[in-house]
Structure formats: structure tokens, C-alpha cells
Chains A and B, each alone.
Chain A
Amino acid sequence: MAKEKVTPNRFNQISAGWNLAFTILLIGTSFFMLIPLVLVIIVSFSSEASIAYKGFSFFPSEWSLAGYKYLMKMGDQVLDSYIITITHTILGTLMSLAVMTLYAYVISLKNFKFRKFYTWILFFTMLFSGGLVPAYIMNVRYLQIDNTLWIYLLPSLVSAYNVIILRTFILSTIPDSLFEAARIDGAGHFRVFISIVLPLFKAGIATIALFNVVNRWNDWFTGMLYIKDSKLIPLQTLLKNLQDNIDFLKQNAQIAGTPDGLELLDSLPDQNLRMSCTIIVIVPILCAYPFFQRYFVQGLTLGSVKG
């Protein structure tokens, strides 16, 4: 992607006045984007008394770590959910990449006889699908993978859209002659794939890995629809359930059984607990974001190229 500026020549710059106007307008808009998150951060550090008195406020009357402390005390559920989300994200992404890059390689081989056919059976699934219900019945009744870890890994294994992007990547970055040369030298397809395609293909893989990581980290739907066992609830679904009822966490806390625990539960800081939970859910993705932004832009530009 060209990195050159739109206005490479100084003489074609907008006037200082307009520059100032645009700057103010755009910075104003960026506040719009950030302020809601700032509010959540502030509320997560507000004391419950401050919330009861002033509501959610940018200027709480009292600061407190109570929300986070309770989150630590109720550790088990949060920890389980973290483990599930991380497994879903990392294992799921690795499995997806392994399967999808292989397929992308196959449908990018120009002299492969069934290339058109394989591309079409993939592409068609982007146009027509059975929808939610048949998939649900399949997963629950026939495969019986609901309420297991598999539900996070299998149904989301392949994304037709991602495979098409990967294929476009291979076609546009790796010249055919390279494949042919390797084949003539006697390399098998797996050999070509491992020693030629993969190394040249890092940027493409990074992009798709990124899409996968973000989608999987942010997935609350699978947990909501298929999971009943609280040990298997991912973070995002936990967050959603928290909003529906804070009791969910209370019921599943290890402390619920003890007399001390009951007292603790009565004094639970519901409101800032929700906000602190939100923060621990988004912090990992926000920390990673600056590092993967470059790949993201790259992938998104390529995704819009005709496949």
C-alpha cells in the first residue's frame, strides 16, 4: 500500500485557517469516540456511595477500588471465563489459520483442475445459508457439541470471506513462476506450502489472525446460545449476564456458602463491579490494538478488492 501523502506538495496544502477548522472539528469528533470509555473507566474507580449519591459521574465524590477488589474475591468465575476466552481466542485462531491457509493455497493454484469447483462451493456459502436454526439443531442434537469447548472451535473454524482474502493475498503477492519452479525441482505440495507460501505470506496470515482474534475475543453469542455450564462461559457472555442480573456472579462465587460470604454478597458494589468487569474485558484488546493496527488496515483494504 502506498504510504505517500495525498498532498505531497506544500503549495497544495489547505490554508492555515481551514487546517485549524478541520483540526478542531476532527478532535471534537474524537472526543465523542473516547468519552464513553473514559466514563466507564472513571465509574469503575468510583465508590458505591458516590454512585448512589451522584449517579455515574465524570467527577465522583469518592474514589475506590472496591469493584476490582470484589472481582478478585469472586475470582473463580472470572478466572474460568478468562481461561475460556483465551482458549477460544488462541486455539481457535490457530486451528482456523491452519485449515484456511491450506484451502486458500489449493484454490490459488492456477493449473489445478478443480480450482473453480472448490472456489464455488466455498463462495456459495457466503450467498446462501440455512441460518441460525438448522445450525443450532445440528450442533445441539446431532453433533451434541453444545456445552463443550468444541462449540467455540468447530462451527467458527472456517470463514469463507477470510479464505477468499487469503487467496487474493497469495495471488497478488506470490508469483506463479515460483510455484512452478519449486514443483519442477520436485517439491511436493506440502513442501511448497511450508517452505514457499508460508514464509512469503506472513502479512496475509497476520491480518487474518487479527480478524480472528478480535472476533473470538468479542464473541458473546456462542456462550449465550449454547453454554449452560458456568465453567465454560466466556468473558463477554459473563459481562452480558452481569448486566442481566448480578446474581449470576453471586450464585457462582465460591464464597456464597460461608456466613462471611453472605455478608459480603449483601454489600456487593453492583454498579461499579459491572464497570470494572467491563474494563478487565477490554483492556487486553486495547493493549494489543496499537500493535496490530497496521495489519488491520492492510487486511481491510485487501478485503474490499474484488475476490
Chain B
Amino acid sequence: MALPTVLWLIIFCYVPIFGLIMAFQELNITTGIFGSKFVGLRNFEFLFASTDAWVITRNTVCYNLVFIVINMVLAVTTALLLSELRSRLLAKSLQTIYMLPYFLSWAVVMIVLSAFLHRDYGIVNKVFISMGWQSGPVDYYQSRGLWPYLLVFINAWKGVGYQTVLYLAVISGISGEYYEAAVLDGATKRQQAWYITIPHLRLVIGISIILAMGHIFRGDFGLFHVVTKDSGRIYPVTDVIDTYIYRALTKLSNVGMATAAGMYQSVVGFALILFVNWVVNKIDPDSAMF
């Protein structure tokens, strides 16, 4: 019964791991892995000698850290507020609306965003010009300073609803007795949130952060490649490891270096997961993954 999955794991997971050997080769696509020349660490040298390695690592890690913190704070706040609404129906409908963007693909998000940022027809250019804040149309897909904020915003727009629903589910599972006891002792609403609700959320927040930390070396390809329309001028603030690998593979056809970058990502990511898990084991063994 386990056979199909085992076969799949071998073909699509374990064999490709050995493909990492290409990171040490100059791949000849016609002769394949077995007929290619070994070049030692040259691919890695090439990768780390450029400033690219630093830029993509910085972007990937920093964006992810900001995403994790911002989305969590927004989601917990929204969940707390929603849970206090007197009208359950309203809370349910709002929850549905918040989660909606989660179901859209990055390709759709890109089109939606371009309705605002398009150089000639975008609503932002039209409004800013008519207000006199801009003398002419600006191509926002070339404006480097804007994108760090924009990416954080878009990521929150798409992802916060999902987390809100998660936290809301946990809040609705907290026994009402805690709150009754607190009210009898004269606790205010704020005190109840701080001393009852938040501590109950701690475990779920902890697990979410641990999982996210393990993926901190993976950039969301859709967000960084599609939503930015792969605009070259803003690479310094939008290029992440995943987009870099994709370009090295498809545009430069430099398979060796693309594999090297991928291996760098996998190995450091793996080390990070082990480290985070080790730390969690020290602090709170119950939340550790393994």
C-alpha cells in the first residue's frame, strides 16, 4: 500500500538529491550528469565572488523575518478584535473576506496590482497627477525605494487572513470558564486578553514561528518574480535566492551555478531547521518537531 509513495519519494526526492553533484560540474546538457566534467568548487567560487550571493541572501532572510513578524502581529490583533465583536454573523463574514486573497494566485495578484501601478492607466498615477503630486506618469516597476514596503504590504494582504482564521479557531477553543473566573475577580477586557487569550495562543504562535524560521532561506517565487514583473531595475531590492536560481537556470543556462546556489539554500536551510529545533527542544520540548 505504501509502494506508490515510496517509488515517488525515490524518483522525485531522493534521486534528485544526488543530482546536487551537478554543483561541482560544468554540465553538458547533451551528455548529462554522467558525461560532464568535474570542476571542483568553481561554481561556488563564482557564486560567492560576486556581490549577488550577499544581496540575495540578505533579501531572502530580511524579507522573511519582516513577513513573519508583521503578519503575526496583524493576524493576532485581527483575531482578538474579531473574537470580541458582538455580532457573530459579522465576525464570520469578515473572516471570509479576509481570507479571500489567500485563494488568489500570484499571477492574479500581479494583474490586480498592475491596475494600481500601471504607468499609463494605473489608478495611482492618474490620481497623483490629477492631485498635482506628480508632474508626469511614473513607472513604479522601476522605483527601487518603493518595493520593500510594497512587498511587505502585498504579502500581508494575501497572507494575514489565513493566519487570522487559524488564531481565531484557537481562541474559540479556549474554555469560557477562564473568562468567567477572571470577570468575577474584576479583570478588565484588556487584562483578559493579555493574561488569558494571548498565553493560550502562545503555543500555536510558537509552532508557526518555528515552521516559518525553517523556511527563512526560501523566498516566495511568485511574490518576488511574478508580482514585480521580473523588473531588472529593482533586482537589488527584489532578488531572492529562488529568483536567482530560476534566472541562472533559464536565462543564463548556467546549470552548475544554479545547482550550487540551490545547494547553498538547501544546506543552510537544513542547518537552520536543525538549529531552531535544537533551541526549541531546550526551551520547550513539547513544541519541538522532532
Contact = CB atoms under 8 A, between A and B. Distances in A.
A26 B85 contact: yes
B166 interface: yes
Contacts of B171: 6
A133 B22 contact: yes
A306 B226 CA distance: 33
Nearest to B93: A30
Interface stretch (B52-60, B61-69, B113-121): B113-121
Contact of A12 (B115, B179, B207, B226): B179
Interface of A: 1-9, 11-14, 18-19, 22-23, 25-27, 29-30, 32-34, 36-37, 39-40, 43, 51-52, 54-58, 99-100, 102-103, 105-107, 118, 121-123, 125, 127-138, 141-143, 154-155, 157-158, 163, 189-190, 193, 214, 217-221, 225, 236-237, 239-240, 243, 271, 274-275, 278, 281-282, 285-286, 289-290, 293, 296-297, 300-301, 304, 306-307
Interface string B142-171: 000000000000000100011001100111
B15 A138 contact: yes
- Of A129, A275, A296, most buried by chain B (CB within 10 Å of CB) is A129
B180 interface: yes
> What are the 3 closest A-B residue pairs judged by CB atoms, nearest first?
A134-B19, A131-B262, A218-B105
A240 B100 contact: no
Interface of B: 1-2, 4-6, 8-9, 11-20, 22, 27, 29, 32-33, 78, 81-88, 90, 94, 96-101, 103-108, 110-116, 118, 120-123, 125-126, 157, 161-162, 165-166, 169-174, 176, 179-180, 183, 189, 192, 197, 204, 207-208, 214, 221-222, 226, 229, 242, 245-246, 249-250, 255, 258-259, 262-263, 265-266, 269-270, 273, 286-287, 289-290
Contacts of A25: 81
A304 B208 contact: yes
Given A131-B262, A306-B289, A137 B19 contact: yes
A193 B1 contact: yes
B1 A190 contact: yes
Nearest to B241: A131
B169 A7 contact: no
Contacts of A306: 207, 286-287, 289
Given A158-B8, A240-B110, A133 B259 contact: yes
21 contacts: A6-B171, A9-B183, A12-B183, A26-B94, A33-B97, A33-B157, A102-B2, A102-B4, A103-B1, A106-B1, A125-B13, A128-B270, A136-B249, A155-B12, A163-B5, A239-B107, A240-B110, A240-B226, A281-B105, A281-B108, A306-B286
Contact of A22 (B19, B81, B192, B287): B81
Nearest to A217: B105
Nearest to B169: A301
Contacts of B259: 131, 133-134
Given A22-B85, A30-B97, A127-B273, A133 B114 contact: no
Contacts of A131: 20, 245, 259, 262-263, 265-266
A56 B122 contact: yes
Nearest to A141: B32
A255 to B, nearest CB: 24
Nearest to A27: B94
- Of B8, B20, B27, B222, most buried by chain A (CB within 10 Å of CB) is B8
